[in-house]
Amino acid sequence: MTDIKKLEALFHEHKFTDFRWIDPKDIVVAQWVRMKCRFGCDEYGRNACCPPHTPSIEECERFFRDYRTAAIFHFAKSVDKPEDRHAWTRGINAALSKLEQAVFLAGRVKAFMLFMDSCTLCAKCVSSRAECKKPKLARPAPEAMGIDVFSTVLKAGYPIEVLNDYSQQMNRYAILLVE
């Protein structure tokens, strides 16, 4: 069984079945994404895994080039109320954290997960990495690393669009970088 097949079996074992392999060179990194974080997100500066506590755009681009392969995980969900998204996200991110650990223990020492939303492993996030209650598990979202998620997932053939309200189905994405 090839290494990729072993990883896919591990993904399935952890109940992640909707994924696609991509070349990390196809990850689109853009400065405008960081500007959206800085001037459009309530979590900017309040979440230990969000900007300005993340590397610069240039560092992120170099980081992604350290990898030869990545998997994009797709999650679709509709919620009744905007706040319902947070509990769903917390559960998915906790499971993604366990998957990253399993991939690491399977010999992929450079495994690094980018959560599908801001970390949310804790109900209330602290505003600095030094205060983080789960520093070994906490991970940034793709956007926090400057990834243009729309362009990246469209290149991979996944659906994504701007939604007008929370009654519409969300298409959310996490990225696992592996070597």
Cα 10 to Cα 133: distance, rounded to the nearest angstrom:
27
Euclidean distance between the first and the last CA atom of the chain, given in angstroms as a whole number: 17
Asked, as a colleague might, if the bond just before 52 is cis with ω within 30 of 0, I would say yes
Query: pTM of the entire structure?
Result: 0.93
Residue 102: is it exposed, middle or buried by C-beta count within 10 angstroms (0-12/13-18/19+)? Answer: middle
Task: Please tell me the predicted confidence (pLDDT) of residue 2.
Answer: 63
Give pLDDT tens digits along the chain (179 positions).
468 999 999 999 999 999 999 999 999 999 999 999 999 888 888 888 889 989 999 999 999 999 999 999 999 999 888 888 888 998 999 999 999 999 999 999 999 999 998 887 777 877 777 888 888 888 999 999 999 999 999 999 999 999 888 778 999 999 999 98
Distances (CA, A) of 77 to 119, 146, 166, 171: 18, 24, 10, 7
Long-range contacts of 36-42, Cβ-Cβ distance < 8 Å, separation of 24 or more = 36/143, 37/143, 37/144
Cα 68 to Cα 91: distance, rounded to the nearest angstrom:
28
